[in-house]
Amino acid sequence: MNMRYFERRKARIEIIPMIDVMLFLLVFFIIVTLQMIPNAGVSLQLPTASQTDQLPHPKFIVNVLPDGTMKVKDQVVTPAQLTAMFAADGNPAQTEVTIAADKTTAFQNFMSVIDAARKANVTDIGIAAQPVPDGQP
């Protein structure tokens, strides 16, 4: 007589808890990655304009301080270094540059950034400005 007290069952892999763990890990890594992206800038008083458009996030943001100092990614650069940086990006026609100049910055310092971009054959140049608050001219 062959009696079985314990019935042998085929092993099953439960997939629902595995999906829960994978989604938790995915959310965790997304949050960690977003906090690793530097989102620092230079405090500037941007000029205002009545006609402003939202620009896509550019490859380079050049901050021009009131004393004429140029900063890219928290590094002080010269116009020659700017030209080299833009040229090293690869395809100058696809390089997007936004210039954020303080409203008290001399126009010559602003033009130095444009000259550096043009020497590197960059054609997609944006200018940062704040929209005029409603009710003001």
Span 96-118, mean pLDDT? 87
- Residue 41 vs residue 80, higher pLDDT: 80
Pick from 107, 10, 42: which is nearest to 68 by CA? 107
| Residue 42 pLDDT level (bands cut at 50, 70, 90) | low
Q: What's the mean pLDDT when you consider all of the chain?
A: 80
Listed range (27-31, 60-64, 92-96) with the worst mean pLDDT: 92-96
Supply the DSSP symbol for 42.
-
- Residue 48 vs residue 122, higher pLDDT: 122
**Domains and their CATH numbers in the chain:** 48-131 (3.30.420.270)
Pick from 102, 55, 60: which is nearest to 81 by CA? 60
pLDDT of residue 25: 93
| Residue 41 pLDDT level (bands cut at 50, 70, 90) | low
pLDDT of residue 40: 54
Do residues 60 and 96 touch, judged by C-beta distance below 8 A? yes
Q: Tell me the per-residue pLDDT of 16-29, one tens digit each, with 9 for 90 and over.
A: 888 999 999 999 98
